[in-house]
Structure 1
């Protein structure tokens, strides 16, 4: 069994944390025609929840927030998977 003390040994290990805003599928011609200043509509609204991944594993659900002119994610739930 893994203990809290075991986990503390990992505290300095760097991990990739990624928040996916949206995914869209378009054809290659769409990419060829993109110009600076174009706006690409996404399928999510500002109110939709976002998924935070640690590595490739979904870790938390959050909502977009803006604090002091910086974007962030407010965690609303942790994703609990049985391992």
Structure 2
């Protein structure tokens, strides 16, 4: 029974639920990337209040939502009670998310 092929589906689902509960309290870092750019050090040092830095993304493009540096979804900015929020528009396919994790390991 070491390969789990003989385990009933109900037992496997119960085991999966226990595993997920065990992982539920692990803190993760969710970040949203608006865009990026490359600057020379001299350009960075020239930045001052009111400076504008052009990013590599159009204003109407969806933002990247990352968990621990891995892209998991795309979204758009919304406001909720005067605070910024992100509406998830598209979730990245599971196999693509897992591939991102494997590259980092």
Report the TM-score range of the alignment, normalised by the length of the smaller protein: 0.7 to 0.9
Compute the TM-score of the two structures, normalised by the length of structure 1.
0.82
Partner of 1:16: 29
Compute the TM-score of the two structures, normalised by the length of structure 2.
0.67
**Which has the larger helix fraction?**
2
Is residue 7 from structure 1 mapped to residue 20 from structure 2 by the alignment? Answer: yes
Q: CA deviation at 1:23?
A: 0.4
Find the residue that maps to 1:64 and give its secondary structure. strand
Unaligned runs of at least 5 residues, structure 1: none
Partner of 1:70: 83
Q: CA deviation at 1:73?
A: 0.9
**Which has the larger strand fraction?**
1
Across the aligned residues of Structure 1 and Structure 2, the Cα RMSD in angstroms comes to 1.9
Structure showing greater radius of gyration is: 2
Q: Extract structure 1 runs of 4+ deviating beyond 6 A.
A: none
Question: For the Cα contact (< 8 Å) 1:46–1:64, is it kept in 2?
Answer: no
Is residue 47 from structure 1 mapped to residue 47 from structure 2 by the alignment? Answer: no
Partner of 1:28: 41
Unaligned runs of at least 5 residues, structure 2: 1-11, 99-105
